[in-house]
A and B are shown apart, each in its own frame.
Chain A
Amino acid sequence: MLVFTRKLNEAIVIGDGIEIKVLRIGRDGVRIGVTAAPAVPVHRLEVYDQIRAANALSVADPESVHDLAQRLREHADAPVAVRR
């Protein structure tokens, strides 16, 4: 891991135009600004990890997915059944 010391309002640049700047230094946290092209996704790691875990639980077997759909239809909440 590359490690930097940055002061308030100092920044680093990654690749072609991704800038990460220290906006505020507080006792419990550091406020960071990220400037990147709109096509570059920027996420908080813990959010990414939560969704990674949720996705892992959502993998479906394509062979049995019709049975799954049947079962889910039977067990689904009313809005699904009514608005289908």
Chain B
Amino acid sequence: MTAKNIPERIVTFSEGLPGFEAFRQFVLVASPSLDPFTLLQGAGPTDAPSFVGIDPLLVDNGYRTTLSASDLSRLEARSSDPLLWLALVAARPDGTASVNLRAPIIINPASMRGIQLLAHESAYRLDHPLRAA
């Protein structure tokens, strides 16, 4: 599922994101000029942080991570519900970028609830390189 198919724009992270716990609401922005990235724009105060995400399957087409019952509960989702997955992109000043495949953002379009997955065991990196060497 991609952000383009989601009519609602405001997503609520009940726990915030690690390091940014005070900011609970983000606006999902998808546009041709952003494609294939999605902007998660902090809503509310002017110092609200924004992030850029990408479908982890576009970075690693074998990407597979399972959600726990707790994750699904916090998303108000059942295991069969279509979910939006976004791996956060970290751009470096030198033009390279990495993608956090270990702790993806997951959004349930039906509830517009979001979480960041904090798996303690993962085969994926926090800084998977996005660009070819």
Is B70 a contact of A56 with CB atoms below 8 Å?
A: no
> Which secondary structure dominates where chain A touches chain B?
helix
Q: Known contacts A72-B91, A80-B36; is A44 also within 8 Å of B58 by CB?
A: no
Is B52 a contact of A50 with CB atoms below 8 Å?
A: no
Asked whether any CB of chain B lies closer than 8 Å to the CB of A27, the reply is no
Q: Known contacts A55-B18, A58-B89; is A72 also within 8 Å of B58 by CB?
A: no
Is A51 a contact of B126 with CB atoms below 8 Å?
A: yes
Among residues of B, the one whose C-beta sits closest to the C-beta of A40 is: B70
> Which secondary structure dominates where chain B touches chain A?
mixed
Contact of A80 among B19, B33, B58 (CB under 8 A): B58
Among residues of B, the one whose C-beta sits closest to the C-beta of A80 is: B58
Is A75 a contact of B96 with CB atoms below 8 Å?
A: yes
Is A39 a contact of B97 with CB atoms below 8 Å?
A: no
Asked whether any CB of chain B lies closer than 8 Å to the CB of A6, the reply is no
Most B-side CB within 10 Å, residue of A44, A56, A69, A77:
A69
Is B96 a contact of A60 with CB atoms below 8 Å?
A: no
Asked whether any CB of chain A lies closer than 8 Å to the CB of B85, the reply is no
Asked whether any CB of chain B lies closer than 8 Å to the CB of A47, the reply is yes
Within 8 A of A (CB), among B9-44: 15, 17-20, 33-37, 39, 41
Listed in ascending order, the chain B residues whose CB lies under 8 Å from chain A are 15, 17-20, 33-37, 39, 41, 49-52, 54, 58-61, 69-70, 72-74, 88-91, 95-97, 100, 102-103, 115-116, 118-120, 126-127, 129-132
Listed in ascending order, the chain A residues whose CB lies under 8 Å from chain B are 38-44, 47-62, 65-66, 68-73, 75-80, 83-84
26 sampled A-B residue pairs with Cβ under 8 A = A40-B70, A41-B70, A41-B74, A41-B118, A43-B120, A51-B19, A51-B102, A51-B103, A51-B118, A51-B126, A53-B19, A55-B20, A55-B88, A59-B50, A60-B50, A66-B33, A68-B37, A68-B52, A68-B91, A69-B37, A72-B89, A72-B97, A73-B36, A76-B131, A77-B131, A77-B132
